[in-house]
Structure 1
Amino acid sequence: MIWEHKTEPLAPAHVFAGRFLAQFLIALAFVAFALAIGMIGYTILGKLPLIDAFLESSMLLSGAGPLYTERNSSNALKIFSSIYSLFSTLVVVVSVGLLASPVVHRLFHAVHTEKTKRP
């Protein structure tokens, strides 16, 4: 996705909306992929039903923490939960970056074009 250079005028609102929508869809696909990884891991390693695997994965992705990882869980499940928790944090950071990038770019570009217009 190529954005306008600092010497070019500010893009119209519909172009900005299209960029934001594209970034939103990329972030959504990234989160859905991460959720699928978690569901597969919890289904295979934790022997959880799909709905419980979905709940566990979504709780970790949202930052609320695990629900079903207990002391009597297998070591493989504990390791997966730890790695998935770290991965979930990365997913959140990347998703926020994807959503913020068009807004921050537009803000900086607007400030820059205002500075160059002044006499």
Structure 2
Amino acid sequence: MNTKKNKGMLPPREFAKRVLKYAFYSLMLLLISIGIGIFGYHYFGDLEYIDSFYNASMILTGMGPVNEMKTEGAKFFASFYALFSGVIFLSTVAIFFAPIAHRLMHLLRIEELDD
């Protein structure tokens, strides 16, 4: 945790900085993931870079594949990338909303239980 237990809520300016920092982390995770997809579809699926970007974007957002994969290697990559993308998309949403959820818990005065 970034704040001490008895310390109050962050001021709005500090909270905005934290939200931007976590948004940056989310964006980096998405960019790395889309890069993996672009490389994989280009290398295994023998697609042009723009088509690889299109396929990776569609899979990463849960919309589904665009181009048919013709080789076994391409089909394996597409399958594993789809599984990976599902986890990454949910992780990105969780990372992005973590500081907002944390702030909401403070507003509702929800505290951690001491063990």
Whether 1:104 and 2:104 are equivalent positions in the alignment is: no
Amino acid aligned to 1:8: K
Partner of 2:113: none
Task: Work out which of the residue numbers 90, 98, 102 in structure 2 matches 1:93.
Answer: 90
SS at match of 1:112: coil
Match of 1:55 in 2: 54
Higher relative contact order (CA 8 A, sep 6+): 1
Question: How far apart are 1:110 and its partner, in Å?
Answer: 2.0
Return the alpha-carbon distance in structure 1 between the equivalents of residues 23 and 12 of structure 2.
16
Which stretches in structure 1 are left out of the alignment for 5+ residues? Answer: 114-119
Structure 1 residue ranges (4+ consecutive) displaced by more than 4 angstroms after TM superposition: none
TM-score (norm 1): 0.87
Q: Distance in 1 between matches of 2:2 and 2:109?
A: 14
| Residue in structure 2 matched with residue 83 of structure 1 by the alignment | 80
Structure whose residues are more often helix by fraction? 1
CA RMSD of aligned residues (A): 1.3
Structure 2 residue runs of 5 or longer lacking an equivalent are: 111-115
**Percent of aligned pairs sharing the same letter:** 32
Computing the radius of gyration over CA atoms, which structure comes out larger, 1 or 2? 1
Query: What TM-score comes out, normalization by structure 2 length?
Result: 0.90
